[in-house]
Structures are given as structure tokens and as C-alpha cells.
């Protein structure tokens, strides 16, 4: 499977052309389905951002859906820091990004994929990428394992999060395959399982329904929550409390916070409240998704502004805080005269949490232009007063 020189040339010449205008041109010049060429153009545009280490290779790209649903290089590399061993079964191979980076940590990888056309694309790409330790197995990975005597150190799977009508699903049992139904079987085939789930799924339900969880990883890229990873094992007994690992990966660093949380009422720990002191903190999205922000506050000895708020405060700056840090300038009411004297040439960045108005409503009501160096944190204090905390964001 290789793109002809004619197709390669056409793609190069039209790489920057709007793809919606290329269909007729493709039909006139090439004896090939236009959607295939458009997939190649879209894939080349996106790969440098999503999987930069693949951008200089002669790859073939699948449908837009397959490419958009695959992991990014950052999240795939993070998974590869979690597991290693002699052999791995990747039961839901897809475009193979996770397979590729995980293959670096295993002697042998079995890639399973029901879509044979997609499997052939990945097989071609792995040849271009120099991967030699992967065995490609077409078909349903679960069915193939049921009829096989093979075992592995690890199984990896990324259940599909759309139903037969291509609508998103929000319950773990509605994903395909259903990990709740195959969990016990998979543990007869491997000592450990790593499952990738959507961050849209409810973490409390995951903890209650999935057996054998040893650890959970909530992974964000630049403070955008991307995926939940479950480590399931048959080597350990059921845990009363599960390590919840909240990870935020940026260009310069990776913030990680781990809380040992009970399987029910994740954020049960008591929290101290305070009026605004010198600094305000907002935890990373992974911490908020894991609902472990109160554990973080307890560890760092900082205070919450309100029981239902996720803004925290302290008198001394904590530069290692995993999230945004703000230096307080003033605490005011949501009044035009008070707000206007703090604006930066009419500009401010507004964040509304636990407040009667949304940020968009405040922008509109007071004719504030988004931007500048001033932040307006609209929130509620412990005495239920609605206030606006005027801040600057610190760049740690």
C-alpha cells in the first residue's frame, strides 16, 4: 500500500486548498474516490500538531473520525510511562497511535482491529515508522482471545464511546466493548489491564461498577481533560480506597497530584473556609474531574472560599500549586463603578464560579472586552456574599 507519485504530487500541490472545493478537481484529475484524497490532505494538516514525531513520514491517513478519535502523541507517551512488559494485547487498535508508543515498552505487541482497511493503513504506517515488534490480527479482539490460548502481561483497550447511531454515550456499560461484561474474562488472559475512557464518564459510577481497579489516571493536556485511564489487576484484592492521579501535561512540565480516595463520596474530607487572603488558586481540570481538590487543599494547608466553590486562598504564595495562581488586588461588588476602575483599557478576563451570572453575561452587561492583564473572579464567599475578586494571574 503506497501512494502513487501522481497522488503524492496532487496532495502536495493542493495541501493548502479548501477541501470542500477539491472534489470536482479530484474527479477530473485522478481515478480515485475524492474522500480518500481529502482524508490525506486533512491528515497531513493535523498530524504535525497531534502526532508531531510522525509528521515527516510517508503515512496514509484513515477517515476523519478514526483520526480525530485517536490519542495525541502527548497522551500516548504518558500511557507508555505507566506500563511495560514482555507482551501486550491492544484489543482496539484503531489508528495505532497508542499501539506505536506502547510498543516501545514491550517485546511484542498484538494489534487487533475489526476494520481491515484501517488495519492495512496502520500496517503500512508502522513499516514507514520502523516498528517491527507488532503482530497485526484482523477481527474482533475479544472473540479472537476467546478462541486463543495466548496470554499477555498487559491488555490495552479503548472502548468506543458512540452507539450504532454514532451518538455519544455517557455510561460505561454503553461503551463498546462493555468492560463490565468482559472484565473477568480479560483477567484470565492478562495480569493487568489498562482501559482508556472518556472524561465525560462519571467517575463515581466507574469506581462503583468496575471491579479490580488499582489506580485511576485523569489526563489533561494544557488543562483540557482528555481521558480517564483505569489500571485493573487480578494481582491485588479489592481496595477500599483508590489512588486518583490527576495529571496536567503542558509544553514545559507535567503536574501530578495523587489522592487516596474512598470508593464512595470522593471529596468527603472536611475543608477549612476563609475570606480571600493574598492569593487565589484554581485547581487543574484533572483535579476537579477527580473531585480531589479538597484533599489537595488539606495537603497544602490552604482554605476554600465557599463550601461549593473551587477557589482556594492563602496568605503565602504556593508556587508549586497544580493549577492557576492569582494575586489579589481588591475584592469588590458587581457594580459598574467599582468594576470600571479596575479594567485594563476596558478589558478583563472574567471567571465565574458559584455565582448567579455566567461570565458571558457579565461581559455583556458591563460591556467588558475579553483580554488584558486583569482577572475578575466572580464567586461566592463563605457568608454567601456574591463578590468579584480583582486579580492578576501569576505565570508559574
Q: Examine the pLDDT at 236 and tell me if it is beyond 70.
A: no
Burial class (CB in 10 A: 0-12, 13-18, 19+), 378: buried
Residues 243 and 363 in one domain: no
d(CA 296, CA 260): 11
For the chain, what is the domain count?
Answer: 2
- Domain's final residue, options 262, 288, 318: 262
* Over residues 42-68, mean pLDDT: 87
Nearest CA among 244, 247, 242, 229 for reference residue 284:
247
Q: CA 313, 315, 316 angle in degrees (round to 5)?
A: 105
Q: Per DSSP, what are the bridge partners of residue 379?
A: 387
Q: What is the pLDDT of residues 94-118, one digit of tens each?
A: 999 999 999 999 999 999 999 999 9
Residues 254 and 108 in one domain: yes
- Tell me the three cell numbers of residue 218: 485523569
Burial class (CB in 10 A: 0-12, 13-18, 19+), 172: buried
The pLDDT, as a whole number, for residue 396 is 55
Nearest CA among 51, 173, 155 for reference residue 93:
155
Is residue 32 domain-resident?
Answer: no
- Domain's final residue, options 232, 262, 292: 262
Other C-beta atoms lying within 10 Å of the C-beta of residue 276: 20
Other C-beta atoms lying within 10 Å of the C-beta of residue 94: 22
Residues 239 and 106 in one domain: yes
Q: What is the pLDDT of residues 258-300, one digit of tens each?
A: 998 765 555 556 789 999 999 999 999 999 999 999 999 999 9
Residues 359 and 219 in one domain: no
- Tell me the three cell numbers of residue 364: 455583556
Is residue 13 domain-resident?
Answer: no
CATH of the domain at 121: 3.40.50.150
Better-scored residue on pLDDT, 380 or 6: 380
Residues 124 and 157 in one domain: yes
Residues 241 and 190 in one domain: yes
- Tell me the three cell numbers of residue 264: 464512595
The pLDDT, as a whole number, for residue 32 is 85
The pLDDT, as a whole number, for residue 1 is 60
Q: What is the pLDDT of residues 305-357, one digit of tens each?
A: 999 999 999 999 999 999 999 999 999 999 999 999 999 999 999 999 999 99
Is residue 140 domain-resident?
Answer: yes
- Tell me the three cell numbers of residue 253: 512540565
Residues 249 and 291 in one domain: no
Residues 353 and 384 in one domain: yes
* Over residues 358-371, mean pLDDT: 96
The pLDDT, as a whole number, for residue 346 is 94
Is residue 4 domain-resident?
Answer: no
Residues 289 and 385 in one domain: yes
Is residue 258 domain-resident?
Answer: yes
The pLDDT, as a whole number, for residue 252 is 86
Residues 214 and 180 in one domain: yes
Residue 96 is part of which domain span? Answer: 68-262
Residues 103 and 191 in one domain: yes
Among 19-23, 55-59, 166-170, 346-350, which stretch is predicted with the lowest mean pLDDT?
166-170
Is residue 20 domain-resident?
Answer: no
What does pTM read for this prediction?
A: 0.91
Residues 227 and 86 in one domain: yes
Nearest CA among 131, 56, 57 for reference residue 93:
131
Is residue 40 domain-resident?
Answer: no
Q: CA 90, 92, 93 angle in degrees (round to 5)?
A: 70
The pLDDT, as a whole number, for residue 123 is 96
d(CA 162, CA 146): 24
The pLDDT, as a whole number, for residue 227 is 96
Sheet holding 254-262, edge to edge: 134-138, 106-113, 85-90, 152-157, 190-197, 224-233, 213-221, 241-249, 254-262
- Domain's final residue, options 262, 291, 316: 262
Is residue 174 domain-resident?
Answer: yes
DSSP label of 363: H
The pLDDT, as a whole number, for residue 301 is 94
Amino acid at each position: 500500500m503506497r501512494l502513487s507519485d501522481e497522488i503524492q504530487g496532487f496532495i502536495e500541490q493542493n495541501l493548502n486548498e479548501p477541501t470542500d472545493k477539491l472534489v470536482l478537481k479530484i474527479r477530473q484529475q485522478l481515478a480515485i474516490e475524492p474522500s480518500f484524497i481529502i482524508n490525506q490532505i486533512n491528515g497531513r494538516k493535523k498530524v504535525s500538531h497531534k502526532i508531531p514525531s510522525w509528521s515527516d513520514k510517508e503515512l496514509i491517513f484513515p477517515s476523519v473520525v478514526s483520526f480525530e478519535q485517536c490519542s495525541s502523541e502527548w497522551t500516548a507517551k504518558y500511557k507508555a510511562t505507566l506500563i511495560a512488559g514482555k507482551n501486550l494485547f491492544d484489543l482496539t487498535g484503531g489508528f495505532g497511535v497508542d499501539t506505536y508508543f506502547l510498543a516501545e515498552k514491550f517485546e511484542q505487541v498484538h494489534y487487533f482491529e475489526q476494520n481491515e482497511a484501517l488495519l492495512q493503513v496502520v500496517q503500512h504506517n508502522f513499516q514507514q515508522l520502523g516498528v517491527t515488534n507488532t503482530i497485526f490480527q484482523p477481527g474482533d479482539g475479544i472473540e479472537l482471545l476467546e478462541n486463543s490460548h495466548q496470554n499477555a502481561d498487559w491488555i490495552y483497550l479503548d472502548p468506543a464511546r458512540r452507539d450504532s447511531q454514532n451518538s455519544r454515550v455517557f455510561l460505561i456499560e454503553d461503551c463498546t466493548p462493555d468492560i463490565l461484561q468482559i472484565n473477568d474474562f480479560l483477567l484470565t488472559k492478562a495480569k493487568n489491564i489498562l482501559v482508556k475512557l472518556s472524561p465525560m464518564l462519571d467517575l463515581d459510577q466507574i469506581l462503583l461498577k468496575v471491579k479490580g481497579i488499582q489506580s485511576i489516571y485523569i489526563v489533561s493536556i494544557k488543562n483540557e481533560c482528555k481521558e480517564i485511564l483505569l489500571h485493573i489487576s487480578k494481582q491485588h484484592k479489592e481496595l477500599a480506597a483508590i489512588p486518583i492521579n490527576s495529571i496536567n501535561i503542558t509544553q514545559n512540565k507535567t503536574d501530578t497530584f495523587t489522592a487516596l480516595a474512598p470508593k464512595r463520596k470522593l471529596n468527603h474530607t472536611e475543608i477549612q473556609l476563609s475570606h480571600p487572603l493574598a492569593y487565589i488558586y484554581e485547581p487543574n481540570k484533572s483535579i476537579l474531574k477527580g473531585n480531589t481538590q479538597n484533599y489537595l487543599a488539606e495537603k497544602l494547608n490552604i482554605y476554600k472560599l465557599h463550601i461549593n466553590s473551587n477557589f482556594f486562598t492563602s496568605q503565602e504564595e504556593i508556587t508549586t500549586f497544580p493549577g492557576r495562581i492569582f494575586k489579589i488586588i481588591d475584592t469588590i461588588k458587581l457594580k459598574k463603578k467599582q468594576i470600571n476602575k479596575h479594567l485594563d483599557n476596558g478589558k478583563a478576563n472574567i471567571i465565574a464560579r458559584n455565582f448567579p451570572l455566567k461570565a458571558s453575561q457579565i461581559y455583556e452587561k458591563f460591556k467588558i472586552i475579553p483580554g488584558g492583564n486583569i482577572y475578575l473572579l466572580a464567586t461566592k464567599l463563605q457568608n454567601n456574599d456574591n463578590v468579584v475578586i480583582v486579580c492578576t494571574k501569576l505565570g508559574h
